[in-house]
Amino acid sequence: VVVEVHRQEDLIVDKFIGDAIMSFRGGNLVDGTPKEHAQRVVRATVASMRALRDLDDPYFRAMKIGGASAESALIGTFGTSNRLSYTILGDRVNLAARLEAACNHFGAETLFCEHTYEMCHDLAGLTWRPIGQISVQGKDEFVRIYELFDDEAEGDLSWTQTFETGLKYYENKQFSEAD
């Protein structure tokens, strides 16, 4: 069901890695701007989570999703004459994998980089919660991350505003106000 949703949003299903699906949008096989690509990925994320819940399979009830966008990436056919693969390579692919792995640490289903948030925060029906800055393997600087919620599936998300206010106080070292 997840692959079908990704195909409906015109994502490229790259590969299956254990119980993971690696999909992306971009390159010369699809039209669109980086913002349009990011928005399709975010819409596919929400639709995939809905489809999985609707499937109601006892073994596959939830996903962990990491996403990272870039203005440009290496997308194409890579390999040798014996083994070729149409794929995406680069820093943002590694970041997306690190964010997916960080979901458990933050108790989140989704984590996206700030660049994705900037391109997609105005999509209707979604709420974004800033998590803060994290250190990820392979990067020298901290990465600001956001959790994505489907308003329809989650119900009252007003608590995210309180969380965001507390996070701002915390980042400014105003700990009693943050509490």
* pLDDT value of position 95: 93
What does the alpha-carbon distance between residue 12 and residue 6 come to, in Å, rounded to a whole number? Answer: 7
Contact between 99 and 144 under an 8 Å Cβ cutoff? The reply is no
For 1, the token pair is 């069901």
Provide the residue type at 89 as one letter. Answer: L
- How many Cα neighbours within 13 Å face the side chain of 148? 34
Q: Looking at the DSSP assignment, which residues form a beta bridge with residue 74?
A: 89
Would you give per-residue pLDDT tens digits along the chain (179 residues)?
A: 999 999 999 999 999 988 889 999 999 889 999 999 999 999 999 999 999 999 999 888 788 999 998 888 899 999 999 999 999 998 899 999 999 999 999 999 999 999 999 999 999 999 999 999 999 888 888 999 999 999 999 989 999 999 999 999 999 999 999 99
CB 68 within 8 A of CB 95: yes
d(CA 167, CA 178): 7
Number of other CB atoms surrounding residue 31 within 10 Å: 8
* Among candidate residues 79, 82, 9, the one with its CA nearest the CA of residue 44: 9
The whole-angstrom distance between residue 144's C-alpha and the CA centroid of its chain comes to 13
Instruction: Say if CB 134 and CB 102 are below 8 A apart.
Output: yes
Q: How far apart are CA 108 and CA 117, in angstroms?
A: 16
pLDDT in tens, 92-115: 999 999 999 999 999 999 999 999
Q: Which amino acid is at 10?
A: D
* DSSP per-residue string spanning 2-49: HHHHHHHTT-EEEEEETTEEEEE--STTS---HHHHHHHHHHHHHHHH
Report the pLDDT value the prediction gives residue 130, as an integer from 0 to 100.
97
Torsion sign, CA atoms 67, 73, 77, 80: negative
Q: Write out pLDDT tens, residues 69-98.
A: 888 889 999 999 999 999 999 889 999 999
